[in-house]
Amino acid sequence: MRNFDLTPLYRASVGFDRMADVLDRTLSADIASYPPYNIEKTGENAYRISIAVAGFGVDDLNVEVKEGAVIVSGRKAPEDDSRSYLHRGIATRAFERRFTLADHVRVAGASHEDGMLNIDLVREVPEALKPRRIEIARSVKSVEKLDA
C-alpha cells in the first residue's frame, strides 16, 4: 500500500481543509466490507445509499448526520442462548459505516424494508451559487446613436 503525504496541499491552499481531510481519511481508512452497500444516483440531484442489514430491525439501527457525514450504526441486542445453530451464516455483529457528504447534500429520509436500509440524499444548491444571467445595460451614448 502506498502512503500519500498531503502536507503540500495544506501548505499551498486555503479553504480546502475539508477536502484534504476527506482524502486523508479515505486513504488511511481500513476498507471494511460489512455490511455491504450500494450508492446510486436516483435523479439529477438525488442519491440513495442502500445497506444490507439482514437480521437487524429498525430499533437496532441508528442513522445520524454529524460533521458533514452520515453515520450508520447497528447494534443487535444480545440473543438468548436457547437456540442451537447448526450453521450461522447471517452476521449480526455490530457495525458503523461513515459516508462523507458533499457541500449542500442533506439527508431527505431513511427507510427499512426487506432487510435493506435505504437513506435518501438530496443536493440542494443555494440560489446564490446557481448560474444566473447578467443583463448587460446599454450606455446612454449608444442608445442616442441608434435614434439618429
Residues 50 and 112 in one domain: yes
Is the pLDDT confidence value at 21 over 60?
A: yes
Residues 84 and 107 in one domain: yes
Residues 70 and 22 in one domain: no
- The answer to which of 43-52, 61-70, 76-85 has the lowest mean pLDDT is 76-85
Residues 23 and 72 in one domain: no
**In which domain, by residue range, is 64 found?**
36-127
Residues 27 and 67 in one domain: no
pLDDT at 9: 62
Residues 68 and 119 in one domain: yes
> b or e along 15-26 (b: 16 or more beta carbons within 10 Å of the residue's beta carbon)?
eeeeeeebeeee
The answer to whether position 141 is within a domain reads: no
The answer to whether the CB of 14 falls within 8 A of the CB of 20 is: no
> What are 78-91's pLDDT values in tens digits?
777 788 888 888 87
Is the pLDDT confidence value at 74 over 60?
A: yes
Rounded Cα distance, 80 and 43, in Å: 44
Cell reading at 32: 471494511
> What are 109-123's pLDDT values in tens digits?
999 999 999 999 999
Residues 48 and 112 in one domain: yes
The answer to whether position 135 is within a domain reads: no
